[in-house]
Amino acid sequence: MKKFPNVGCYSYVAEPFHCDFTKRLFIGHLGNHMLNAADYHSSDRGYGMHFLNSINRTWVLSRLVIEMDELPSMYDKFNVETWVDGVIRSFTSRNFKVVGTDGRVFGYGKSIWAMIDTESRQPTEVQKVSNGIVMDYIETDYPCPIEKSSRIKIGATAPLVASIDTHYCDVDINGHINSVKYIEHVLDIWDVEWYRKHHVRRFEIAYIAEAHQGDQLKFYREKLANSDQKEYCVRITKCNSDGESEVCRSKILF
Amino acid sequence: MKKFPNVGCYSYVAEPFHCDFTKRLFIGHLGNHMLNAADYHSSDRGYGMHFLNSINRTWVLSRLVIEMDELPSMYDKFNVETWVDGVIRSFTSRNFKVVGTDGRVFGYGKSIWAMIDTESRQPTEVQKVSNGIVMDYIETDYPCPIEKSSRIKIGATAPLVASIDTHYCDVDINGHINSVKYIEHVLDIWDVEWYRKHHVRRFEIAYIAEAHQGDQLKFYREKLANSDQKEYCVRITKCNSDGESEVCRSKILF
């Protein structure tokens, strides 16, 4: 990355117990690696979560798209490269490239992160932190050739296909349900038989609200009609004493 | 590890998205690291799962104990050291030491693995593989000062405390429910409020039978009466068209 010093590069191995029954890395574990790489990249440049927490700010993942030609196989060594290619008010756009140590490109990701005030939970301006330090590390020339996240539309009558309770192991360092857990729960709507014949080509998720341990999550699914491909939208809601409200929307292309 | 060449040493970081709300590594992720370290250690020495599968053999985890003084904090760098300290017929005894790169000892683990024939699913003699290669790497002098796993007893009337369905993301490379998922599900019996005040000092699990995606898991819990400590036993059963049968037993000391 000498030519692109604003791109961070973090090494991983597709560890056998992070792989599914086809001996390929679980998308959930890949997503976790991406989130960790994002944290390292921002921490290395002075605007990581750890520093932000000290000034009552934090990063909240707002959207994530993962588009893979293939997933790393068991024991494959690969890098997650990540860089920020834009900032608008309280949002940064962060890209990912997943590439084998032999140079083979597995796929890409795109994400949107909001900077929020940890007390008010309201968005705050990215450029007001440390004299706009984030702007010093923008990289717009390194390619990320996938479509950015779209606005996911799902009908009000999409049928309920799963309900799950949330527990201690679902909760992340911020005290909320871990972003990656939603991805895993969405993928779990389909069973092992399905995954024998299909693989995920593109996975998109938009985070709308936070859920907490004890909330029940409900999953509503709709197949896109005007598509000759196998493409689905999923709405996730949380149910608690305040009633039912939307927390995420996801779109999956097999 | 120059003095102990039979001990493998594998480096990890307590990645932020592998940590719980107290910003300490999840025991489930630590367990996954241990299983991966075991696979690297055995593969590096010519008796790993990948080789064994080529001769219709595999390793199956039979028992695991994890005993921690403390868990690594977010961003801590640590090593998982692992070595085999004994072989009896179809079983090997494998130890773990979790140690910070600064030398601080976080805790230890002990495990028992069975070598089985992948077709008959029956135990086979470890010493018959590659002229007893496993015996060439036994290490008995490196200390692992925790009690080995005990026989876990749990009454027939222990009450049902949780039921969960199993899905695609629960299934490992061997097509069975991942050993670590049981650990997470057991820990999930207690809620975030409990973990604000308690931490796991010792976690023991014995694997009795394999479960498959689609099986429903049921969790029965009993508090040990003759103990002034907070110690619990948990029985896990699977329910499918063949009825209900035991798959694991676990013991947790807080």
Of the candidates A15, A35, A192, the beta carbon closest to that of B17 is on A35
Neighbour order of strands in the sheet with A160-165:
A8-13, A77-88, A91-100, A105-117, A57-68, A202-207, A243-253, A231-240, A216-223, A160-165
The pLDDT, as a whole number, for residue B16 is: 87
A15: closest CA of chain B, how far (Å): 6
Provide the shortest C-alpha distance from residue B142 to chain A (in Å).
26
Which pLDDT belongs to residue B227? 65
Assigned token pair, A100: 């084998």
CB-CB neighbors (< 8 A) of A73 in chain B: none
Query: Which chain A residues contact residue B36 at CB under 8 A?
Result: 15-18
- Cα distance from B189 to chain A (closest Cα, Å)? 8
Q: Do A21 and B195 touch (CB under 8 A)?
A: no
Q: Could you tell me if A173 lies within 8 Å of chain B, comparing CB atoms?
A: yes
Residue A116 has pLDDT above 70, yes or no: yes
With an 8 Å Cβ cutoff, is A18 touching chain B?
yes
pLDDT (tens digit per residue) in B225-248: 776 779 999 999 999 999 999 999
- Using a CB-CB cut-off of 8 Å, the residues of chain B touching A211 are none
DSSP labels for B36-88?
HHHHHHHHHTT--HHHHHHTTEEEEEEEEEEEESSPPBTT-EEEEEEEEEEEE
B37 close contact with A: CB closer than 8 A: no
- For the cut 80, the answer to whether the pLDDT of residue A36 exceeds it is yes
Instruction: Flag if A39 and B16 touch (Cβ within 8 Å).
Output: yes
Query: Which of B21, B173, B188 comes nearest A173 by C-beta?
Result: B21
The CA distance from A195 to B215, in Å, is: 17
Q: Indicate whether A2 pLDDT > 80.
A: no
Q: Is the predicted pLDDT of residue B219 greater than 90, yes or no? A: yes
With CA atoms as reference, the chain B residue closest to A214 would be B191
Q: Cα A21 to the chain's mean position, in Å? A: 22
At residue B36, does pLDDT exceed 70? Answer: yes
pTM for this one? 0.93
Between CA B142 and CA B130 the distance in angstroms is 25
Q: What pLDDT shows up at residue A150?
A: 87
Burial per residue of A136-150, b for 16 or more beta-carbon CB atoms within 10 angstroms, e otherwise:
ebebeeeebebeebe
Q: What is the pLDDT of residue B229?
A: 76
A20 vs B contacts (CB less than 8 Å): 168-169, 171-173
Mean pLDDT across A99-117: 96
Among chain B residues, the shortest Cα distance to A14 is held by B36
Question: Is pLDDT of B217 > 90?
Answer: yes
Residues from chain A contacting residue B26 (CB–CB below 8 Å): 169
Contacts of A158 (CB under 8 A, 6+ apart): A220, A221, A222, A233, A235
**What is the model's pLDDT at position B13?**
93
Among the listed residues A81, A93, A83, the one whose alpha carbon sits nearest the alpha carbon of residue A42: A83
Average of per-residue pLDDT across B37-51: 93
Res A227: pLDDT:
65
B168 vs A contacts (CB less than 8 Å): 20, 187-188, 190-192, 194-195
Is B23 near chain A, with CB under 8 Å?
yes
Residue B154, pLDDT above cutoff 80: yes
CA distance B102 to A174: 27
Per-residue pLDDT tens for A169-220? 999 988 999 999 999 999 999 999 999 999 999 999 999 999 999 999 999 9
| Interface membership of B24 toward A (CB under 8 Å) | no
One-letter identity of residue A8: G
Which of A105, A100, A84 lies closest to A38, judged by CA? A84
Q: How far apart are CA A71 and CA A93, in angstroms?
A: 23
Q: With contacts defined as CB-CB under 8 Å, which chain A residues touch B194?
A: 168
Average pLDDT over residues A18-29: 96
Residue B175 at interface with chain A, using a CB cutoff of 8 Å: yes
Nearest CB to A175; choose among B21, B187, B191: B21
Cβ–Cβ < 8 Å for A61, A42: no
Bridge-based pairing state of the strands B160-165 and B231-240? unpaired
Domains of chain A: 7-137 (3.10.129.10), 160-253 (3.10.129.10)
ipTM for this prediction: 0.93
Do residues B234 and B221 lie in contact, with contact meaning Cβ atoms separated by under 8 Å? yes
Select the residue from A169, A178, A187, A197 to test the B interface by mutation, using most B Cβ atoms within 10 A.
A169
Q: Is B166 on the interface with A (CB under 8 A)?
A: no
- In which band, very low, low, confident or very high, does the pLDDT at A225 lie, cut at 50, 70 and 90? confident
